[in-house]
Amino acid sequence: MNPMVNARSARKSATTPSGRYERVPNLQVHIVGLTLLVCGIGIFSSGMVGALRDQSHIGTLAATGAGVGVIGLILWMATTTPTKFSLLDVFTTVTSAWVAMAVCGAIPYLVTSTLATIDLALFESISGFTTTGATVLRPIEAASDGILFWRAITQWIGGMGVIVLVVAVLPQVGSGGMNLLAAEAPGPTGERLTPRVAQTARHLWGVYAGFTVILAIAYMLAGMSLYDGVAHSFTTVSTGGFSPYNRSLAHFESAAIEWIAIVSMFLAGTSFTLMYRAIRGRPGPLLKSVELRLYLTVVLGATSLVYLTADAGSDITALRQSMFAVVAVTSTTGFATADFALWSDAAQSVLLVLMPLGAMAGSTAGGVKMVRILAIASHAHRETLRHLHPRLVRPIRIGGVILDDQVGNKVLGFFVLALATFGGGALFVAMTGSDIITSFSASATLLGNVGPGLGDVGPTEDFLNISRVARAVGMVSMLLGRLEIYPILLALAALPLSGARRLMSRVVRSNQDG
């Protein structure tokens, strides 16, 4: 059976013979419309927060949010999901939704004159939605509370992903919805919690929202205001790292807040699927997870190395700062409590290696993911043994789970593409005039969706220190890192295919008419 929607049926009149309005089947426009609706609500909410805080940009943000929301609502209500669509359509839809979010997210920065140019506004927007946390705001605290809250909302929306939200409220997507979920959810595979995809997405959002509420309360109990607690809970749970303050969490000078953030960042880097199972009384899969053990080992091992080599002292404060930096980088959150660019070269090298790794699959973190590291290690072990035993038959394993060779090949393909993207990004940034440390760390931190890097883009610096061309390369790297390369590449490949498809359709129609 052809999985593609019949092109002619999709172009039927939007009205039935009786004159009643009928939605046009169009997956891409439908999802983009709902995405814009969600963004519009977020912008409007930011305006309301501004009304309660500093009274700045209230009307501008409210009007912008209402306008974007109405456009999204019209597109959503005028279309529906086709009964059948291809996997290529799914990747194209995911990419289109993220591009629409990026453009939508840039509008508040421009209409409020917070950022002067389109490229800066797009960089901040993409950094927010991809939960990277790299910023071009200088100084951050000069922006209005409404705009700073919008920055936090972009990361919260992008953390779990609008596509998961879309699937949660679109049960008619049916089996194709799992393709949307898999294309959006970080990691090599998508896993169902329940047979119904929409119910799976609702469970994930339930865990995500519940985690956010609990963390906001914890932050407030530790001394934050309501505004700060909510804003920082948004950017912690999403592993985003935006803060309304130039000094990030160091602004509060609170050990309690930092320990809460350390635990929360680590949890946000674990699989939300496994967390849901643990909440439901089945902690076994989480506790037995080989990926979780590797994640914990990397965090503890890297913390020990940084603590011993950072030259930042040997007291509990130095240990806390070392662990905070390691967890912030490994979970790709990017908060900062100390300028690790001032630490020893050895400590900085450890953090640089951690930047592209990421945490667990199924989390809101970016990066390669621990599960892929395990798969690559198993594959390398097998190929090494085959030098001694050429006829050896040995599957790729992750713990007690055997990976199909097709999945293993996809993991290797992703790893090669990630290395090529990292190297190419570093080369392009270096060609714009940045030094080698800045270039490599910028490429690693943007592709890994971490945020702060080293050199001119260190934890106390911003991305205004690199050129406009380098920031353009960085925008592409952030999107590739968040969508894990394949969806964007396949969407770009689909452009000539869709053009050829339309041409063939016209030829067929002309022949039929003739």
pLDDT digits (tens, 9 = 90+) for 147-165: 999 999 999 999 988 667 6
**Cα separation of 139 and 119, whole Å?**
18
Residue pLDDT, tens place only, 16-66: 555 556 889 998 999 999 999 999 999 999 999 999 998 889 999 999 999
* Residue 406 to residue 412: CA distance in whole angstroms: 10
Looking at per-residue confidence, does 500 or 180 come out higher? 180
Do 185 and 203 contact (CB within 8 A), yes or no? Answer: no
pLDDT (tens digit per residue) in 197-214: 778 888 888 999 999 999
What is the per-residue pLDDT for 21?
A: 63
Mean pLDDT on 416-426: 95
The confidence score (pLDDT) of residue 167 equals 65
Query: For the residues 217-227, what does the mean pLDDT come to?
Result: 97
Lowest mean pLDDT among 86-90, 178-182, 220-224, 326-330: 178-182
Q: Which of 358, 380, 379, 354 is nearest to 368 (CA)?
A: 358
Domain ranges of the chain: 14-358+484-491
What are the DSSP E strand ranges found in 1-119? 24-25, 79-80
Residue 415 CB coordination number (10 Å): 16
Sign of the C-alpha dihedral computed for residues 285, 288, 294 and 298 taken in this order: positive
Angstrom distance (rounded) from CA 63 to CA 54: 18
Interhelix angle 345-354/436-447, nearest 10 degrees = 30
Neighbours of 26 (CB within 10 A): 21
Residue 513: the pLDDT is 55
pLDDT of 173: 56
Asked whether the bond before 139 is cis by omega within 30 degrees of 0, the reply is: yes
> Which pLDDT belongs to residue 195?
66
Give 511 or 335, the one with higher predicted confidence.
335
489 in Cβ contact with 475 (< 8 Å): no
What does residue 401 show for φ and ψ, rounded to 5 degrees?
Answer: -95, 130
Give the per-residue pLDDT at 48. Answer: 96
Identify the burial level of 225 via C-beta atoms within 10 angstroms of its C-beta, where 0-12 means exposed, 13-18 middle and 19 or more buried: exposed
More confident residue, 10 or 57: 57
* Cα–Cα dist 17/326, whole Å: 64
Percent of the chain with pLDDT over 90: 63
DSSP class of 21: B
3-class state of residue 221 by DSSP: helix
Q: What is the pLDDT of residue 161?
A: 81
